[in-house]
Amino acid sequence: MSLRVRLRFTKSLLRRTEGLCFALGLGSMGLCAALLAQAWFFQAYQNWAFEQELEGAPVSYSAFLTQVHAPSLGFDGAGGGSIVGRIEIQRIGLKAMILEGVSQRTLALAVGHVPGTALPGSAGNVGIAGHRDTFFRGLRGVQPGDRIILTTLNGAYEYRVKSCEVVTPRDTQVLAATKEPWLTLVTCYPFHYLGPAPERFIVHAVLTRS
């Protein structure tokens, strides 16, 4: 094969590879956009439904669509688990619905209540986990003294951040049962790490008002 033919073949191969990479990139961006849109829509609907239930008003998917004039995104109203409540940390702009469980599906749509830990407002350690690059992104700016509100259908509970720490994934003691009403938030760390993060960022808070 002559040099000219090899060069022509190489250029053709590079063009095809470039086109394939471009198509894969567009496809990945489209998938990410679809997942983010689904998570946003899930949060919007569940937050609206939660407010309706708090006020004793009827809840229906069609009523929500009519009220907000939102297009259907293929969401059927079902998530990874039942609704536990809502978490808010106003100072850092964090607000998210809480689902029961910490499966991949659950954490793609909301933050998750860690099974086996206490429920909001009760004695014991309430464990809540979330992704560092979505709903718990704001935790990078959390500080001792920050006010955390957990709202459930049984009432609203105020916690105050006492401390933060970084631990390894094997350090499960952060979620151990406690006699006092505590709240533990868990997310991956470092926040800007690419790929599966090697550590966990932990926020400890204590119940101050129920």
Q: What is the pLDDT of residues 52-90, one digit of tens each?
A: 777 777 766 555 555 544 433 333 344 456 999 999 999
Domain count, the chain: 2
Q: Which amino acid is at 146?
A: D
The mean per-residue pLDDT over the stretch 47-51 comes to 75
Is 90 found in the same domain as 27?
A: no
Is 147 found in the same domain as 86?
A: yes
Is 159 found in the same domain as 170?
A: yes
Is 93 found in the same domain as 39?
A: no
Is 136 found in the same domain as 83?
A: yes
The pLDDT-based confidence of 93 (bands split at 50, 70, 90) is very high
- In this prediction, residue 70 carries a pLDDT of 42
Is 181 found in the same domain as 153?
A: yes
- In this prediction, residue 46 carries a pLDDT of 77
The distance from CA 131 to its chain's CA centroid, rounded to whole angstroms, is: 5
Q: What is the DSSP letter of 72?
A: P
Is 107 found in the same domain as 204?
A: yes
- Give dist(CA 161, CA 145) in Å, integer: 5
CB 112 within 8 Å of CB 85: no
Is 26 found in the same domain as 86?
A: no
Computed over every residue of the chain, the mean pLDDT equals 81
Which residue is listed with tokens 């086996």?
116
Please indicate whether residue 68 or residue 10 has the higher confidence score (pLDDT).
10
Is 98 found in the same domain as 22?
A: no
Q: What is the DSSP letter of 160?
A: E
Is 169 found in the same domain as 66?
A: no
Q: Which amino acid is at 77?
A: G
Range among 16-30, 42-56, 64-78, 184-198 rated most confident: 184-198
Is 116 found in the same domain as 72?
A: no
Tell me the pTM.
0.71
Q: Residue 171 belongs to what domain range? A: 79-209
Tell me: pLDDT of 4 over 70.
Answer: no
CB 201 within 8 Å of CB 130: no
- Give dist(CA 81, CA 101) in Å, integer: 6
